Amino acid sequence: MTDSTHPLPNDIPQVQMQGWGHYLRFSTDHKVIGVQYLFTTFLFFLMAGLLAMIIRAELLTPASNVVDRPFYNGLFTLHGTMMIFLWVIPSLVGLANYLVPLMIGADDMAFPRLNAIAFWILPPAGLLLVSSFFLPHGSAQAGWWSYPPISLQLPSGQPINGEVFWIVSLFLIGVSSIMGGVNFITTIVWMRAPGMTFFRLPIFVWTVLSAQLLQLFCLPALTGALILLFFDLALGTHFFDPLENGDPIIYQHLFWFYSHPAVYVMALPAFGIFSEIIPAFSRSPLFGYRSVALASFGIAVVSVTVWVHHMFASATPGWMRLLFMASSMLVAVFTGIKVFAWTATVWKSKLHLETPMLFALAGVVMFVFAGITGVMLAAVPFDLHVNNTYFVVGHFHYVVYNTITMAIFAAIYYWFPKITGHLYSEGWGKLHFWLTLVGANLAFFPMHPLGLQGMVRRISSYPPEYQSWNVVASLGGFLLGVSVLPFIANIIVSWMSGLPAPRNPWHATGLEWATTSPPPEKNFDETPVVRRPPYDYGDPKVTVTEGQNS
């Protein structure tokens, strides 16, 4: 057996021209499923982005003059639901699907067929949600939180309505996520190659492990809430109806018990992506590997205890407000460990600023901003002012777009040669980066001053004094729409006719770079044996040959 932590010199394999057909069929190969996830979720990303641009068009002017109000409510409800449950979470699942078995030296996921089933639930569930736009009374219109009683009131007595579609769709996505979670945990615990101990796992695997643990133990709370909401909506019970002795606060608790950790289900793998890319392009080991790995778990554990900070303005007693303020702020300590580690990795290194690194560094910087506004929001007195205003919307978009979506783009560029066997075009990638960076900040920064001034979220018309910042945000939003065009062009053209990629175009460590690009069906020709710590960057001459310096 060879030591495969360090790839052999960059031999260019024969690139077999595989057809596109196998991406459209039921396949149990984790690599095919990973690409299927990425492709499907990107389509939903485009759709949800389109909804966002209609929202921004409406908000160009103070009056409600682009779409009617119920339609606007449907727009932001489905924009939020789709972006979270059909883009950010599943696209990261797609990346993890592709990468985790490769990174731990396994030939596939633990349960390949379950993996395929989990994926194939997603397209019908998503289409169900989108199709609710064509119902006579429209899609769900209660926001992505779907708080009762407003979510129970909207469907106007029809047994088939947008809200039912929303519940069923989310339930199905939840089932798919649980299947994925079981699979990831089992894969990471059982399928590691010989010598791949926990403290030799790449950080991306650590973050997937902690994110999927959160999915497994928090998402069922949302499932429970959805079951009860469905009973209220379709079968006439009154669990959440305050006028009939029910209690809407219980829904809020159950909803946020999942939906706050859901943010870390999204953010943790993004942190993992940063932790892969930044050392590779700094040519330095990740500073403080162990503390970064454990901080992932710290974030996961603490994030289960902070959900009430979404309900500070709700019926939350004072002691609860202060308790959850303190726990929410502790999240900053663990994310801080990661940010400091990335900064120390970059310091005095040899930086290569290719597209993945640009996306990663910009993502880290904007994440620092989002983290600071996050700590502000945890402070109860300030939150009572900006809760449910655009300040929260701005903070949230700095997390999910300017951090996590930047990380997803970084990851797609970084592993594109591995996935496709072709090199992408660096120039188009940089154009995509700059358009995204400018667009994202133009679109989401103005939301902070708007929120401070008291502009409430989810309104389709607003007092005229808020207009100037809204125009900036809308222009940024349209620019973001334009920014994906070079990305799409780059991906299609490079996949079809890009230069063939070597095994390890970035001279990175990690098992995924030790196999061919794209990897063979069972990933490795022989099971790799791991003998070195991760992120073992250094002089290639020293590290590549085994045993020379031991």
Partner 1 sequence: MITVLEYILLAALIAVDLMVSRWIGIQAYGWMPVEATQEAQRVDDLFSFLVAVGAFIFLGIVGVIAYSVVFFRAAPTDYTEGHPGRGNWKVEVLWTAVPTLLVLWIAFQSANIYGQLNILGLTPIVERLNPLESPAYAREPSPNPAAGPKPAPPPQPEAQPTVVVAKQWEWSFRYPNGVTSRELHLPVNATTPLLLKSQDVIHGFYVPAFRAKQDMFPDRDITFAVTPTQVGQYRLQDSQFSGEYFALMLAPVVVEEEAAYGQWLEKIAQNPPDLPRLVAEEQAHPPRRLFDSGWRRGDAIAAAADEDAIALRDQASPP
Partner 2 sequence: MRHIPLDERPIRYDRWIDRLPRWLQRFLPKGGGTAKDHHGKGMFGVTVFLLSESVVFLSLIFAYSALKATTADWLPAGVKGPEVSTFVVINTVVLLSSSAVIQLAERAIKKERLTRFRLLWSLTVLMGSYFLVGQAIEWSQAEFGLRTSIGSSAFYVLTGFHGLHVLVGVLLQLTMLGRSLIPHNYDDGHFGINATTLFWHFVDALWVVLFTIIYVW
Pick the binder of partner 2 from 99, 106, 406, 408 (CB under 8 A).
106
- DSSP states of 2-18 as a string? -B-SSPPS-PPPP----
Q: What is the full DSSP assignment across 502-515?
A: -S-TT---SGGGGS
| Choice between 170 and 406, CB closer to partner 2 | 170
- By CB under 8 A, residue 509 contacts partner 2: no
Nearest to 415 by CA among 541, 532, 266, 280: 280
Could you please report the per-residue DSSP string of 305-325? T-GGGGGTTSS--HHHHHHHH
Residue 195's binding partner among partner 2, partner 1, none (Cβ under 5 to 8 angstroms by kind) is partner 2
Cβ nearer to partner 2, comparing 200 with 310: 200
The pair phi, psi for residue 139, each rounded to 5°, is -80, 180
192 versus 448: smaller Cβ distance to partner 2: 192
Of positions 181, 272, 439, 451, contacts partner 2 by CB under 8 A:
181
The region that residue 261 occupies, defined by phi over 0 for left and psi between -120 and 50 for alpha, beta otherwise, is alpha
- Which one of residues 247, 330, 454, 489 is an interface residue with partner 2 (CB under 8 A)? 247
Q: Are 81 and 171 in contact (CB under 8 A)?
A: no
**Cα–Cα distance between 495 and 221 in angstroms, integer?**
41
User: By CB under 8 A, what part of segment 448-477 binds partner 1?
Assistant: 449, 452-454, 456-463
- The answer to the question of residue 260 lying near partner 2 (CB under 8 A) is no
User: Dihedral, CA atoms, 218, 221, 227, 230, nearest 10 degrees?
Assistant: -90
| Piece in contact with partner 1 (CB under 8 A), picked from 70-78, 106-114, 183-191, 404-412 | 70-78
* Of 215-223, 334-342, 389-397, 515-523: span binding partner 2 (CB under 8 A): 215-223
Q: Note whether 301 and 218 are within 8 A (CB).
A: no
Give whichever of 23 and 199 is closer to partner 2, judged by the CB atom: 199
- Mask of contacts with partner 2, 128-167, x by CB under 8 A? ----------------------------------------
> Smallest gap, in angstroms, from Cβ of residue 543 to partner 1?
9
Q: Which is nearer to partner 1, 122 or 299 (CB)?
A: 299
Among 18, 23, 69, 520, binds partner 1 (CB under 8 A): 69
Per-residue binder mask for partner 1 (CB under 8 A), 124-163, x = binder? -------------xx--xxx---x-xx--xx-x-------
Beta-carbon contacts of 301 under 8 Å, excluding residues fewer than 6 positions away, are none
Query: Which of partner 2, partner 1, none is residue 228 near (CB under 5 to 8 Å by kind)?
Result: partner 2
Supply the DSSP symbol for 88.
I
Tell me if 531 contacts partner 1 by CB under 8 A: no
- Residue 531 binds to partner 2 (criterion: CB under 8 A): yes
540 is a contact residue toward partner 1 (CB under 8 A): yes
Q: Under the criterion CB under 8 A, does residue 388 sit at the interface with partner 2?
A: no
Restricted to residues 90-129, the positions that interact with partner 1 (CB under 8 A) are: none
Burial of 326: CB neighbours in 10 Å, binned 0-12, 13-18, 19+: exposed
**Interface positions, 187-246, toward partner 1 (CB under 8 A):** 242-243
Out of 282, 403, 420, 483, the only residue in the binding site for partner 1 (CB under 8 A) is: 282
**CA angle, 456 then 462 then 466, to 5°:** 85
- What is the enclosing helix (H) or strand (E) of 333? helix 318-346
Distance CA 158, CA 226 (A): 18
Cα 203 to Cα 12, 296, 498, 513, distances in angstroms: 28, 9, 30, 16
Residue 68 interacts with which of partner 2, partner 1, none, CB < 5 to 8 Å by class: partner 1
Distance CA(175)–CA(119), nearest Å, equals 11
Q: Interface with partner 2 includes 224 (CB under 8 A)? A: yes
* 297 interacts with partner 2 by CB under 8 A: no
